[in-house]
Structure 1
Amino acid sequence: MQLTLGPVLFGWQRQQLLDFYAEMASQPLDVIYLGETVCSKRRALSLDDWLGLARDLREACSAELVISGLTLLEAASELSSLRRLCDNGELMVEANDLAAVQFLAAKGVGFVGGAALNIYNGHALAEFTACGLQRWVPPVECSAELIRLARAQYLELADVPPLPQIEVFAYGHLPLAYSARCFTARAHNLAKDDCAICCEKYPEGMNMLSQEGTPLFTLNGIQTMSAEVHNLLADYPSLPAAGVDLLRLSPRAQGMEDVIAAFDAVRNGGLPPLAVEGCNGYWHGRPGMLRAEELGVC
């Protein structure tokens, strides 16, 4: 099982990003994703900066480097920037929007299909592999059974490319939805076009509480995320049976070394813990916010 580090989803400042990736270079990671996927107004690093960082990381570690594109495009300028990203000529691209799929398919280059693409069965997966998809990141709400069935259905199809790798979102705040509105700016009574990049004040997003005061969501600019951290560490034994090849760990501002070490220990033969912090309901085909103890699987 390979470990991947997903793109940073939060609005971190330039030095925080550079320091973070300098620390990640020494970690036992097989793939590192770079780039901005949430908001085009976050320009702490430009595309040229990301590519330069990739060159530095290539010298410092053996991990495969991938650059991720935006998930929700809202302007012609963003489409132009996405085309340039797809034309980077150095790194494989993670396509998080159909525009990126179209650009990459036209170029005839392989790509990673991100979790925001609506791929839920073998037939849909075949359509994307015909366009060049080489690695599939299922939508975060997919259960182990859904992924297993989609994989089996794909293998029954005739005249399709080899089954792509399957990469599951295994740790982090789940990216649930994207909106044309910026929730962080709205919380500060700021217009989206004049937001002052206020999301940089929240390196792990803003908590949104229910009327009872219970954490319900994490707001991250235009992105709505789970309040709980999704964690499949205790579910590790069920991952190979679903056909999973890679586990994606989504960056957090603190403690990523410990998270990576825990997953690395289990993939190298260590016993998975009976229970872990966070939620894992989606993996079991239940509401995503449920914890292991609520599911009766620990």
Structure 2
Amino acid sequence: MNQSFELTPNRLRELRGFAIAARLLNFSRAAHEAGCTPSVLSRRIAALEEAVGGKLFLRTTRRVTLTPRGEQLLAHCERLDAVMLAMAAELRPQGGEPAGRLCVHLPGAYGRLCVAPVLARFLAGHPQIRIEAVYDDAYVDLVAGRIDLALRVGRLADSQLVARQVGSMRRYLCAAPSYLAAAPALHDPAELKAHRCVAFSGLRTGTLWQFSQGRRRRSVRIDPVLSCNDSMATREALLAGVGIGIQGDYMADPLVAAGQLARVLPEWELSTSPIQLVWLPGADRAPALRALIDFLSSEL
């Protein structure tokens, strides 16, 4: 190693990516395990090769092998992993009970209705863990916000994060029976322009509502009478008969079953979004965070 080699956070990320790739000898699989794209992994390994002053892999169209320099670095990585695991075991509280403070970022309505009860059960079983739960529909950068774990609904834009899907959410149109009784008939999404609509501004497509029916597609740009940045406020407006809006199944299903809301255009489908836990690469090595991730994955 050259004299400028330092174990900075970026260097540790590069070493982790290298070690995974060295064990798998498959860059696509290694990138998936490292929580990044193959191109990002290649850049990290290139930076590491520059730092150590030599090639770490020999790559052909058919196979990937380690160079002698790569084998030497892998041995160092394995010793480093052993030291980190030993340190984690030594610093763990007596009895093996995970401990520590975690900051968790959750979407407002889904977090309050579906995740808060799960967090309560988790804390009851882990008395030495402390959680700061932030309920907010806005996107947050995990590094800048010092967030240990976030739950996100929809496709992920940040390929640097590790993600685990824990569910999915259907969306559909609904309205109060009182509104529908006095409103014009509705047979096609295009006819929504003749209706009063309530919009949730956090929807990825905004006021462009997109529908599908088999191979048929409809996109309607609505002009909402009310736009809310809080999905629970949107729900309350629909219950009050303000108009037609989009709701997630976790909020709307009980209200539809109780007759408080009615589905609108049920033959036309809206998008289904994945619900995913996300965290920074390597953060789940902390026993407290690992315990929370596993618990939420099983309960949600």
Question: Which has the larger share of helix?
Answer: 2
TM-score, length of structure 2 as denominator length: 0.24
TM-score, length of structure 1 as denominator length: 0.24
Larger Cα-atom Rg: 2
